[in-house]
Chains A and B, each alone.
Chain A
């Protein structure tokens, strides 16, 4: 699986947009970009995923560059409850063959702190 690079920490003011970057320069054509977050002492929570196009759901937006070598997770109006560790993960399509069974490979993530 491709490796990802994220800043170790970021701050954001409550009510403002939080933009979390992720580099995945070795991503291959069949690999999706996933974002999960982990609030203290809880299990990781799925946020969003994408392949090529930008994606939006009720939690966040995902912007993937045209060359797919980097992406940005956007929380449009951050709240104090968004304080968490955010993980960017690259994973092959489960239909890609081989022995990919969909396991997630987590890095260190970005600690996002939302301030009042």
Chain B
């Protein structure tokens, strides 16, 4: 399968702990996006990378959140000192670079539960 993959698929952690999620985009895709989705809501944009450069961050991305894409391939999203409000599905998507309409391909998501 050459789609977007995310690991782990599920993560249960205690409040105050740090967690890290990984996203492997489709190999030729330069653009990578992170979104967060809470129950009953549509996904909300968190941050965007073009190759290794983080070009946009949402105000939702507090100081406790950090994302990297060190070699322009896979990306990690770390949440420090987790809070119960961080419980959500974290989705990664990738797309080709360039002008014109570019559809995004989403991974299956990582479901985080903070107890």
A interface residues with partner B (beta carbon < 8 Å): 32, 34, 42-46, 49, 51, 85, 87, 91, 93-95, 99, 101-109
Distance from B19 Cβ to chain A, minimum over Cβ atoms (Å): 19
A107, B100: Cβ atoms closer than 8 Å: no
Shortest CB-to-CB span from A6 to chain B, Å, is 10
B17 within 8 Å of A by Cβ? no
User: When the two chains form their complex, are residues A34 and B103 in contact, meaning their CB atoms are under 8 A apart?
Assistant: yes
Question: What are 22 sample pairs from A and B whose C-beta atoms fall under 8 A apart?
Answer: A42-B108, A42-B109, A43-B4, A43-B91, A43-B93, A43-B108, A46-B103, A51-B101, A93-B101, A94-B99, A94-B101, A95-B99, A101-B31, A101-B55, A102-B102, A103-B45, A104-B33, A104-B35, A104-B104, A106-B43, A106-B44, A108-B42
Encode B94-113 as 1/0 by CB contact (under 8 A) with A: 01001111111111110000
- Contact in complex: A103, B33 (CB < 8 Å): yes
Residues from chain B with Cβ under 8 Å of A95 in the complex:
99-100
Q: Is the CB of A101 within 8 A of B50?
A: yes
Give the CA-CA distance A107 to B106 in the complex, in Å: 17
Greatest chain A CB density within 10 A among B33, B101, B106, B108 is at: B101
Which A residues touch B107, using CB under 8 A?
Answer: 43
Min C-beta distance of A2 to chain B, whole Å: 15
Tell me the residues in window 53-105 of chain B with beta carbons closer than 8 Å to chain A beta carbons. Answer: 55-56, 91, 93, 95, 98-105
A102 CA to B56 CA in the complex, in Å? 10
Interface residue tally on B, bucketed by range: 20 to 34
A45 CA to B106 CA, complexed, in Å: 7
Main secondary structure of the interface of A (DSSP, over half): loop
Q: Beyond the given A44-B43, A49-B101, A106-B42, please list 14 additional residue pairs across the A-B interface where CB-CB is below 8 A.
A: A43-B93, A44-B91, A44-B106, A46-B103, A101-B31, A101-B50, A101-B56, A102-B95, A102-B102, A103-B33, A103-B48, A103-B56, A104-B35, A106-B43
B41 CB-CB contact with A under 8 Å: yes
Q: Which of B42, B95, B102 contacts A107 (CB 8 A)?
A: B42
Residues in A neighbouring B91, C-beta threshold 8 A? 43-44
Q: Which residues on B sit within 8 Å (CB–CB) of A107? A: 42
